[in-house]
Amino acid sequence: VTGYVKCKQPALFYLILELYHAAINRMRKRYADTVATGNGAK
């Protein structure tokens, strides 16, 4: 049972981590674009 859990958990963990990083990167890119356009307007 321990081996099964040990095998199963990391996959789920990495999947969540991957989604988390993707969301952060998207937000960071949007923020950078907003700042860039804001500075360009000024």
- pLDDT per residue as tens digits for the range 26-37: 999 999 998 888
1-41: pLDDT as tens digits: 566 656 667 788 889 999 999 999 999 999 999 888 876 55
Expressed in percent and rounded to 5, the helix, strand and coil fractions of the chain are 95, 0, 5
User: For residue 37, what pLDDT is reported?
Assistant: 84
pTM for the model stands at 0.55
Give the three-class secondary structure for 7.
helix
Token pair belonging to 23:
């969301």
Token pair belonging to 7:
């095998």
Residue 9 to residue 1: CA distance in whole angstroms: 12
